A and B are shown apart, each in its own frame.
Chain A
Amino acid sequence: MIEISGLSKTFGLGANAFTALDDINVEIRQNEFFTLLGPSGCGKTTLLRSIAGFVDPTSGSLTIEGQDVLPLPPYARPVNTVFQNYALFPHMTVAQNIGFGLEMQDRPKAEIKQVVGEMLELVQMAPMADRMTSQISGGQQQRVALARALAPRPKVLLLDEPLSALDFKLRKEMQIELKRLQSETGITFVFVTHDQEEALTMSDRIAVMSSGRILQIGGPKDIYDHPAERFVADFIGDTNFLEATLQSVAGEVATVTLPSGKTVAARAVQGGGQSGAVTLAVRPEHAVLTKESGLLDGVLENIVYFGTDTHYHITLDGGSAFVVRKQNQPNTGEGFEVGDKVGVSFEAGVGQVLRD
């Protein structure tokens, strides 16, 4: 559907040059909910704007359904954008905003009227069709922006942090609504966010970005359970990092020796080495705490109660910190006390070896 290869963008010249996109390679599939996730300034907007045609890439290629779109101006690309601040036309009504794209395409009046009506229904804004856009709430503006971008039936819908201005409840509603629209319309969604939870709950696939590069592409579970790099593991969720020694790799299974001297099977990383010092990532909820000695041993430093779960902060024998997260049960009272000597264990295949 969208194929991007070797795409780079450098702003400025000479000493002021800044590489905002660095050799981006990605293929986005038909009717996929594809998310660009990364911290502020990592180049998400720049990548999105390159697809829309507002940024001219320095090098690389970008095709949509096999057609090279880089020579095309924004108005000739089969792509619509939901802007971060909505960018609704303040001098037009809700209905006129939604019809704008169709009008620019010189569609017949009757068709415009019909499609605008359908879109108003779709985003549940029909009662407000004749309001000016300054007279509707933030969440309603967001829905109008969505309807305006969907009305011309683009092949691709680009969304730049469209939910970031909404409060928590509305945000949850809109997340569900977006997923519904995506499956109802069959349009490919490219969604930008820096909210990892939003990315995990909504996406078919996620591309994690940092400093202009894509570090990892994969499904939400894949990215969460098997981060390939330290940055990814750190950015999404909480993670324990262990200094370990790689003994051998057989396919996806890596055998590593922990600082305690014990050996465990972990998941190998693509393109990683066969042996040597590596970092092992273990999610806090994937480890268990025991009173007996475990894979790792240490002293319980702190217990933090969070309602749904409890975090146990442990100082391992080597001196490094480790957190175990345990879901709370009705009959609590596991009997762990601060200062106890405890063991930490995790099953084979749970740890993930990281690329350095």
Chain B
Amino acid sequence: MAKSRAFDVRRQTGFVPIALLCFLVLYLPIILLVVYSFNKGESIAIWEGFSWQWYVKAWQNEKVQDATILSLIIATSASLIATSAAVMAALATTRTRGFRGYTFVFALINQPLMIPEIVTAVALLIFFAMIKVATGYTGLMYLIIAHSAFCIPFAYMPIRARLQGMDLNLEQAGADLYGTPWRVFRRVTLPQLWPGVLAGSMLAFVISLDDVVITEFVKSAGQDTLPTYMLGQMRRVITPEVNAISTALLAISVALVIAFYLLSKGGTQTNRE
């Protein structure tokens, strides 16, 4: 920092190396994970040549199949429920004029982001245990409800952003042109909101698909999702099968993130005059 120039964070000593190191730490393991998913041997550290065998193994593994189906059922249901709830919550927090306790409601909706996940997990475990005792029901609903609950804020954020950017006059114009509240919602609000709804539901889907902590606490015996199955596997032998499953999950996530990006970009474009 010899000559005094305008302050620029990039000129701090060591900024570039640190940034590079961060990227390396973040992405090198992922690259290795992907590479070793194609390993011929049983090791996840010693390269023995290329093969698809772990993908084939994972594909044929019944436990993996069951866990995948369960994961998809839970993620789809949770995403649908969370998105519907988020649409209503977003409408309530942007379309009504500021009411008492507004901040409180806002905090309430975003609660899962602020409370440590483990606390939620333990609380749900105890709560659901009580219900299980009372009703004897041990089905999937517990997982679906739990996932829906913690996915709401993720679905809520893009929907709310979209609603806030929306011209209130449009709905008034709809009402002025003889549209009843429900028809105005269907014909004016929802089409405007659609990119946000899609983005929110995809985000919720990925978050649900990825969850370990809450699932691990809430699940009943034999209910393994992909992440909890993998966790169980890791405790025993680690083979590149886990790499293969992870890589597949990674591919789904990346695809959804790209779709999310394209949708939100397309959304802002149609919004422009």
Establish whether residues B180 and A134, one from each chain, have CB atoms under 8 Å apart when the complex forms. no
Q: Which residues of chain A come closer than 8 Å to B176, judged between CB atoms? A: 52-53, 74-75, 79-81, 149
A79 to B271, CA, bound (A): 28
Question: Which residues in chain B, 162-176, are within 8 Å of chain A measured between CB atoms?
Answer: 167, 169-170, 172-176
B5 within 8 Å of A (CB atoms): no
Establish whether residues B270 and A104, one from each chain, have CB atoms under 8 Å apart when the complex forms. no
A18 within 8 Å of B (CB atoms): no
**Interface residue range, chain A:** 20 to 34
Establish whether residues A75 and B178, one from each chain, have CB atoms under 8 Å apart when the complex forms. yes
A152 to B178, CA, bound (A): 9
A244 to B74, CA, bound (A): 86
Establish whether residues A87 and B167, one from each chain, have CB atoms under 8 Å apart when the complex forms. yes
A90 to B271, CA, bound (A): 7
**Interface residue range, chain B:** 20 to 34
Q: CB-nearest residue of chain A relative to B166?
A: A90
Q: CB-nearest residue of chain A relative to B170?
A: A87
A188 → chain B, closest Cβ, in Å? 16
A105 → chain B, closest Cβ, in Å? 5
A149 to B167, CA, bound (A): 18
B235 within 8 Å of A (CB atoms): no
Q: Which residues of chain A come closer than 8 Å to B174, judged between CB atoms? A: 89, 100, 104
Q: Which residues of chain B come closer than 8 Å to A90, judged between CB atoms? A: 170, 192, 270-271
B41 within 8 Å of A (CB atoms): no
Question: Which residues in chain A, 39-82, are within 8 Å of chain B measured between CB atoms?
Answer: 52-54, 73-76, 79-81
A284 within 8 Å of B (CB atoms): no
A148 to B177, CA, bound (A): 8
Establish whether residues B167 and A75, one from each chain, have CB atoms under 8 Å apart when the complex forms. no
Q: What are the interface flags for B173-191 relative to A under an 8 Å C-beta threshold, 1 for contact and 0 otherwise?
A: 1111111100100011001
B236 within 8 Å of A (CB atoms): no
Establish whether residues A85 and B172, one from each chain, have CB atoms under 8 Å apart when the complex forms. no
Establish whether residues A91 and B191, one from each chain, have CB atoms under 8 Å apart when the complex forms. yes
Interface of B is mostly: helix
Establish whether residues B273 and A134, one from each chain, have CB atoms under 8 Å apart when the complex forms. yes
A220 within 8 Å of B (CB atoms): no
B272 within 8 Å of A (CB atoms): yes
Q: Which residues of chain A come closer than 8 Å to B180, judged between CB atoms? A: 75, 104
Provided the pairs A91-B192, A91-B270, A134-B270 are in contact, do residues A85 and B169 lie with their beta carbons within 8 angstroms? yes
A212 within 8 Å of B (CB atoms): no
Q: Which residues of chain A come closer than 8 Å to B173, judged between CB atoms? A: 81, 83, 87-89
Establish whether residues B178 and A105, one from each chain, have CB atoms under 8 Å apart when the complex forms. yes
A264 → chain B, closest Cβ, in Å? 52
A101 within 8 Å of B (CB atoms): yes
Q: Which residues of chain A come closer than 8 Å to B270, judged between CB atoms? A: 90-91, 134
Q: CB-nearest residue of chain A relative to B269?
A: A134
Establish whether residues A89 and B172, one from each chain, have CB atoms under 8 Å apart when the complex forms. no
Establish whether residues B172 and A54, one from each chain, have CB atoms under 8 Å apart when the complex forms. yes
B213 → chain A, closest Cβ, in Å? 40
Establish whether residues A104 and B167, one from each chain, have CB atoms under 8 Å apart when the complex forms. no
Question: Which residues in chain B, 43-62, are within 8 Å of chain A measured between CB atoms?
Answer: none
Establish whether residues A75 and B175, one from each chain, have CB atoms under 8 Å apart when the complex forms. yes
A75 to B173, CA, bound (A): 10
Q: Which residues of chain A come closer than 8 Å to B178, judged between CB atoms? A: 75-76, 101, 104-105, 152
A79 to B178, CA, bound (A): 9
Establish whether residues A74 and B169, one from each chain, have CB atoms under 8 Å apart when the complex forms. no
Establish whether residues B175 and A74, one from each chain, have CB atoms under 8 Å apart when the complex forms. yes
A–B pairs, 24, beta carbons within 8 Å: A52-B176, A54-B175, A74-B175, A75-B175, A75-B178, A75-B179, A76-B178, A79-B176, A80-B177, A85-B167, A85-B169, A87-B167, A89-B170, A90-B170, A90-B192, A90-B271, A100-B174, A100-B177, A104-B174, A104-B179, A134-B272, A148-B177, A149-B176, A152-B178
User: Sorted from nearest, which 9 A-B pairs have the closest CB atoms?
Assistant: A101-B177, A87-B169, A87-B173, A104-B178, A74-B175, A104-B179, A91-B191, A81-B176, A75-B178
